[in-house]
Amino acid sequence: MHLLIKNGTLVTAADTFIADVEVEGEHIVRVGQDLQTPDDTRVIDATGKYVFPGGVDPHTHLDTPSQGTTTADDYLTGTIAAACGGTTSIVNFCFQQKGKGLNEVLDHFAARAVDKAAIDYGFHAMISDLTESVFDEISGLPSRGVTSIKLFMAYRGANMVDDRTIVRTLEASVDNGILVMVHAENGDAADLLQQQHLRAGKIAPKYHATSRPPRVEAEATARAAALAEVVNAPVYVVHVSCMEAVEEIQRARGRGVNIMGETCTHYLYFDERDLDRAGFEGAKYVYTPPPRNKHQPAYMWRAISNGSLRVVASDHCPFNFEGQKTLGAEDFTLIPNGAPGIEERLMFTYQGVNDGRLTLNRFVDLVSTTPAKIFGLYPRKGSIAIGSDADLVIWNPTAELTVTKPALHQNVDYTLYEGKQIVGLPETVTLRGQVIVENRQYVGTPGSGRFLARNSYVG
């Protein structure tokens, strides 16, 4: 099957130019001017539109048990929403319940995804309990296409690991071509502060922010950097939320530590005042780390623009307001932590292009190319190159949308961005040469997403 995308403005992390893209089967086979193709070619006119490589979201929590409940999107609804937002690859976290082996957990998640996923998907392993048998499983992960492991420095009494576990996992990661990702917050400090808040009767959502302040995140970020430095391992910090943590990343990079930072779309938009919205609405903004003070979003835009942070992920961790967020109506520590964002990620990061905060190329780099490189998917994903998978987004830079819950496809009863007006939308999306989204509606076949066996981290 042939597909020709004509006259689009192609944008990669490096270049912007007008050209045709020819797709044969699942791959890009030619990029050039006035390409001639067989008569039965499907032709899409992209005049006046941008053509981006499909988004790569390395931080999602689909169909995931957490805090006594389960995220609201499964692999069907979550990946359809991703596709409609211009994302064609995700890497989902596979939480290790204590007592279970890594392979057992990965098998469980794989069974949940197969026959449902609308886009391609990979998995991150996660360790909460480093027993000897779990340690022995680490070396086998790359052979099943899993080349990253997440560790939590927060959530004392649940997923938090100690420094010994961090060092041992970092050492094993270097030996096996695996990248360690850390949730960097000092879990002992956050836990203590939470208990003090509750004892003082501070139970409202706004105390989510004051019980885990920026220095709690910055301390763990600095510690992760130091431990990685000790064993000469790379380390990736998920969901960096504030200047204090970015400064620790810059400091470590300055002395040669290979530490990489990701932020999430919501840190570019919201601040602690959103946690204090009327009624219990603030619970919608209870994600971790929390929204920071009102000066931080502008700082975070600069951090992604200047390269201090390299990836914008969604941390899509959707819980319904009704019935899930309300579990914490009397105690903010019981509000399930997380927010939806898999569909909004590209649209809202792109607003930085409209505002002059990001170049087009930097935008593509943040949401597609660099995550593909860091997580072993490049150049199959994250580029518009001959031989790459034909995962393409045709983007209309003049289309407008007032974002509302019904305008999105996520299976969750709210969006953080309700009522915000944006310019620039994904219109048509292809996954390995198949058109799966037209006019921002899913037209693909559920289950056609494939498991992504990822290569080892290099660099």
Distances (CA, A) of 317 to 204, 389, 453: 21, 27, 23
Q: Which residues bind Zn ion (CB under 5 A)?
A: 315
Among 140, 181, 86, smallest CA distance to 394 is for: 86
Minimum CB distance to Zn ion smaller for 274 or for 315: 315
Least distance from Zn ion to the Cβ atom of residue 431, Å: 24
| Minimum separation from the CB atom of position 58 to Zn ion (A) | 10
- Number of residue whose CB is nearest Zn ion: 315
Q: Residue 412: exposed, middle, or buried by beta-carbon count in 10 A (0-12, 13-18, 19+)?
A: buried
Q: How far is the CB of 59 from Zn ion (least distance, A)?
A: 6
Question: Helix, strand or coil for residue 454?
Answer: coil
Question: Could you tell me the smallest distance in angstroms from the CB atom of residue 313 to Zn ion?
Answer: 8
Q: Quick one: tokens of 2?
A: 């042939």
The residue among 49 and 124 lying less far from Zn ion, judged by its C-beta, is 124
Which residue's CB is nearer to Zn ion, number 37 or number 96?
Answer: 96
In the complex with Zn ion, the residue whose CB is nearer, 315 or 391, is 315
Identity of the residue, 91 or 347, whose beta carbon is nearer to Zn ion in the bound complex: 91
Q: In terms of CB distance, is 67 or 361 closer to Zn ion?
A: 67
CB nearer Zn ion, residue 161 or residue 360: 161
Compute the least distance from the CB of residue 332 to Zn ion, in Å.
18
Q: How far apart are CA 140 and CA 143, in angstroms?
A: 6
Tell me the C-alpha distance between 150 and 179, whole Å. 9
Left (φ > 0), alpha (ψ -120 to 50) or beta: where does 220 sit?
Answer: alpha
**Shortest Cβ distance from residue 287 to Zn ion (Å)?**
8
Q: Minimum distance from CB of 434 to Zn ion (Å)?
A: 29
Taking the least distance from each CB to Zn ion, the nearer of 262 and 389 is 262
* Distance in Å, CB of 265 to Zn ion, minimum: 13
- Torsion over CA: 186, 191, 192, 193 (sign): positive
Q: Is residue 170 within 8 Å of 163, Cβ to Cβ? A: no
Query: What DSSP line would sit under 363-425, residue for residue?
Result: HHIIIIIHHHHHTT-TTTSS---TTSB--EEEEEEEEEEE--GGGS--SSS--TTTT-EEEEE
Look at the chain and count its residues. Answer: 459
What does each C-alpha distance from 372 to 151, 175, 231, 342, 367 come to in angstroms?
A: 21, 22, 25, 16, 9
Enter the tokens of residue 12: 């990669």
**CA-to-CA distance for 87 and 69, rounded, in angstroms?**
26
